[in-house]
Structure 1
Amino acid sequence: MNLENNITCSQKIRAIHDTMDVLSGKWKVSIIACLCYQGMRYSELLREVKGISGKMLSRELKDLEMNKLVERVVEDTKPISVYYKITPYGSSLKELTDTIAAWGIAHRELVKI
């Protein structure tokens, strides 16, 4: 059995399950991918992430905040403005979202969707 960096298969699978628990669902990776490029207001995210409902976006943003991937920023303006931005910890997922996007483009071309 080949142990890459002393990580066993079961340890790797457990780590993948942990990651999937945090990023699970249809929308989280898309939200993270959007926020990796710039902070966005709630309405901008709602427009950008096609098909997500307002209730689901709100729920997913709260979950991403809880996991310290996204930060809700309230600006003291009149009227108060709120936007969301990726945290430094969350930005560690940028390479992953870029890889997923590249794979999706290649796959779409391969199967001619």
Structure 2
Amino acid sequence: MSISAIGVLPVEVRATHTGQEVAIVGRIDVHTVPDVRLLLHGIIDTGCGDVHIRLAGAEIGDATGLGVLVEAYNRARRAGRRLAVVDMTERTARLLRASRLDRALVLREAVPVATVAAVTA
């Protein structure tokens, strides 16, 4: 978990052999997006390799939740990194398909959790 201005941010960051993995838990909406954005920017700007975002424990609450994913994708691309959304709920997958963001974002099947080691964010 990462400490934010509004308390404990429900985000877990892990290093993988190919880059970094971010597991977001809870609701991503207008209230949590500023902190999620800052964390994702820090991860993208300071790391290397692919960035995998796990959304299995997350709920996208409004358009700002979708916007922060698009923004992170574009920032990663500009930094020469790839961003992939992995391990999402069926509701999130339907939302990404309905908004046609599945065509822009890289969607992948879940990477096994056994291949990751915890690091502090």
Provide the TM-score with structure 1 as the length reference.
Answer: 0.29
Provide the TM-score with structure 2 as the length reference.
Answer: 0.28
**Greater share of strand:** 2
Higher normalized contact order (CA 8 Å, seq sep 6+, divided by chain length): 2
Larger radius of gyration: 1
